[in-house]
């Protein structure tokens, strides 16, 4: 299954078989919510089951950082990975500026 509606993908446990499954997430305000699901074993799970299994509170505070250039964006992203970010995106802006979006699990302070 192609994950076309997602902004981020994480690996979670499938509620049916317990194996790894890709869960696609999309930004909703300050948080993210699951929108797609793809189990490696082909389990069919509807999005309601995914929401119960992977609630947005579990994966989900979003931080946006605006930086001056790609080098700064890379440093911010590397630091976030070291600190346990779930997912990171970097969007280029005008004049070399960039926007770094970091998704944190709630246990991150």
Verify that 82 and 93 share a domain, yes or no.
Answer: yes
Verify that 40 and 23 share a domain, yes or no.
Answer: yes
The answer to the question of residue 30 being in a domain is yes
Enclosing domain of residue 83: 62-104
Verify that 17 and 55 share a domain, yes or no.
Answer: yes
Verify that 53 and 22 share a domain, yes or no.
Answer: yes
How far from chain centre, in Å, is Cα 46? Answer: 19
Verify that 50 and 22 share a domain, yes or no.
Answer: yes
Residue 56's pLDDT is: 56
Nearest of 67, 62, 109 to residue 87 by alpha carbon: 62
Low-confidence residues in the chain, pLDDT < 50: 109
The answer to the question of residue 87 being in a domain is yes
Residue 54's pLDDT is: 62
Residue 109's pLDDT is: 46
Residue 54 · residue 23 · CB < 8 Å: yes
The pTM score is 0.56
Verify that 17 and 51 share a domain, yes or no.
Answer: yes
Pairing of strands 31-39, 61-67: unpaired
Angle at 37 between CA 57 and CA 102, to 5 degrees: 45
Find all residues with CB under 8 Å of 29, minimum gap 6, and list them. Answer: none
Residue 102's pLDDT is: 85
Verify that 68 and 49 share a domain, yes or no.
Answer: no
Q: Indicate the number of domains in the chain.
A: 2
Verify that 47 and 66 share a domain, yes or no.
Answer: no
- How does pLDDT run across 63-72, given as a tens digit for each residue? 888 999 888 9
The answer to the question of residue 1 being in a domain is no
Residue 17's pLDDT is: 93
Distance between CA atoms of residues 104 and 86, nearest Å: 6
């Amino acid at each position: 299954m192609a994950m076309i509606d997602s902004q981020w993908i994480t690996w979670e446990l499938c509620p049916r078989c317990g194996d790894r499954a890709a869960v696609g997430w999309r930004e909703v305000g300050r948080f993210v919510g699951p929108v797609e699901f793809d189990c490696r074993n082909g389990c069919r799970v509807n999005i309601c089951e995914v929401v119960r299994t992977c609630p947005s509170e579990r994966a989900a505070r979003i931080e946006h950082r605006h930086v001056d250039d790609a080098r700064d964006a890379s440093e911010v992203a590397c630091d976030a990975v070291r600190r346990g970010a779930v997912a990171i995106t970097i969007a280029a802006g005008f004049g070399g500026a960039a926007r770094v979006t970091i998704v944190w699990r709630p246990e991150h302070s």
